Amino acid sequence: MKRIFSGVQPTGNLHLGNYLGAIKNFVALQDDYDCIYCVVDMHAITVWQDPKELKAHTREVTAAYLAAGVDPKRCIIFNQSQVAEHAELAWIFNCVARLGWLNRMTQFKEKAGKHRENASVGLYAYPNLMAADILAYKATHVPVGEDQKQHLELTRDVAQKFNNDFGVELFPVPEPLIFGAATRVMSLRDGARKMSKSEPSNMSRINMTDTADDIAKKIRKATSDPELLPGAEVLDAAGALPEEARKARPEAHNLLGIYAALSDKPLRDVLEEFAGSQFSHFKAVLTDLAVAALGPMGHEMERLTADPASVDAVLRDGAERARAIAQPILAEVHDAVGFLRA
């Protein structure tokens, strides 16, 4: 059986990058896999989170999953902290992973910055918790963006070292599922930077809860360049967008990529459709598409936000089903490690 595990951190301000980079793919995968989608609140607290906001943000991510079309009957949706097996397995993995492995993690270096001494121990051990998330369910496939590839590599190393050290074949070595390049959504103000919740300007991102008017205004004001839109000649022989072409016109390629992802069309078709167009024309068409795709989702999120009891019920049911899978796997782990169950 093929099982997927993935997670989104409840850190607030879900935007188009979260939707196209993760949540939209989650919906597509539920037809072919047994899917477990987690709201990783324990990962979120590796950096400071206001406790009141954390609860609201956990419900926000859950509402986003539901509004995007993740089916809580077919999939398991829950928040990480309700299933204690994650923390328990993470501790065991703290004793399997090597300092040298964690020292190589580029995300820790970026997030800790110059004040490494002041970063939480949790931020450092974060990849071990992620390995525990995935392996507590013996997940075989993990949808990951570019930024999480290295963490998944570490998960694979942990699975292999555990199996080796204890002479068991307990954990599968999970495979990454990588999605199209269009999932790299950049800021609407600066095509060289990722769309981000922490960017001060709200105009730089389309939030999942934005109204039609917000969306239209943000796309109209999005940074463009003076040329007409490029055509399919910018693609390489394999049909991919070369890095130089993207760098030469980052704003144009960001908007074209967003269009391709929202319309589920190959980038080639989109380039052919808009080759030689003015930005103003393309932006008008993109606005209609974005409003049609995101508008109803924003409304549904709003409805769910007003009904937290129904959101909590989904999480409660999901946590129960998650525990039912993780508990027997943890029992196998205890046995392999030599923990006595008296």
The residues binding ligand TRP (CB under 6 A) are 5-7, 9, 40, 43, 130, 133-134, 142, 144, 148, 151
Burial class for 192, CB neighbours closer than 10 Å (0-12, 13-18, 19+): exposed
Catalytic site residue from 55, 161, 197, 217: 197
Nearer of residues 6 and 287 to ligand TRP, judged by Cβ: 6
Nearer of residues 105 and 304 to ligand TRP, judged by Cβ: 105
Nearer of residues 7 and 298 to ligand TRP, judged by Cβ: 7
What would you report as the CA-atom Rg of the chain, rounded to the nearest whole angstrom? 21
CB 88, min distance to ligand TRP, A: 15
Catalytic site residue from 111, 161, 217, 265: 111
Is 194 assigned a catalytic role? yes
CB 11, min distance to ligand TRP, A: 9
Is 197 assigned a catalytic role? yes
CB 4, min distance to ligand TRP, A: 9
DSSP 188: S
35 SS3 class: strand
DSSP 120: -
Name residues whose C-beta falls within 8 Å of residue 103's C-beta, 6 or more positions apart in sequence.
none
Is 66:300 a contact under the CB 8 Å cutoff?
yes
Query: What distances in angstroms separate CA 190 from CA 51, 261, 286, 306, one per listed residue?
Result: 32, 19, 18, 34
DSSP 183: G
Query: Which amino acid, residue 25?
Result: N
Nearer of residues 9 and 25 to ligand TRP, judged by Cβ: 9
Tokens of 203: 């105009």
Q: What region, left, alpha or beta, does residue 239 occupy, with left being phi > 0 and alpha being psi -120 to 50 degrees?
A: left
Which residue is closest to ligand TRP by CB?
A: 7
CB 269, min distance to ligand TRP, A: 29
Catalytic site residue from 55, 194, 217, 265: 194
Q: First and final CA of the chain: distance in angstroms?
A: 33
Nearer of residues 176 and 308 to ligand TRP, judged by Cβ: 176
Is 218 assigned a catalytic role? no
Cα separation, 297 vs 210, whole angstroms: 10
CB 40, min distance to ligand TRP, A: 4
Write out the catalytic residue numbers.
111, 194, 197
